[in-house]
Amino acid sequence: YYHADLIALPVHDESGTEIGTLTNVLNYGSADLFDISLNAGGSVVIPFTEYYVAKVEIGKAVTVKPTIQ
């Protein structure tokens, strides 16, 4: 994926509830990191791996697993 295609996508949990917005994609060498601004306040940074990210739909949303909640 191109980082620009991911930034500003809504982030949903696996039940479809929007929990935030992807605000940045960071890379420090080992894996891309998603910086997510949470609707409940604050933010979280998660690795872009199968353990945390269930699905990415360009132009639609990023779906994350419950491990971040």
pLDDT in tens, 6-56: 999 999 999 999 999 999 999 988 889 999 999 999 999 999 999 999 999
Query: In terms of Cα–Cα distance, which of 33, 30, 28, 31 is closest to 7?
Result: 33
Indicate if the pLDDT at residue 66 is higher than 90. no
Q: Among candidates 39, 33, 42, 46, which has minimal Cα distance to 19?
A: 39
What pTM does this model have?
0.90
Which of the 8 DSSP states describes residue 67? G
State how far the Cα of 40 lies from the Cα of 47, in Å rounded to an integer.
20
pLDDT of 69 reads 54
Dihedral angle, C-alpha 46, 48, 69, 56, nearest 10 °: 140
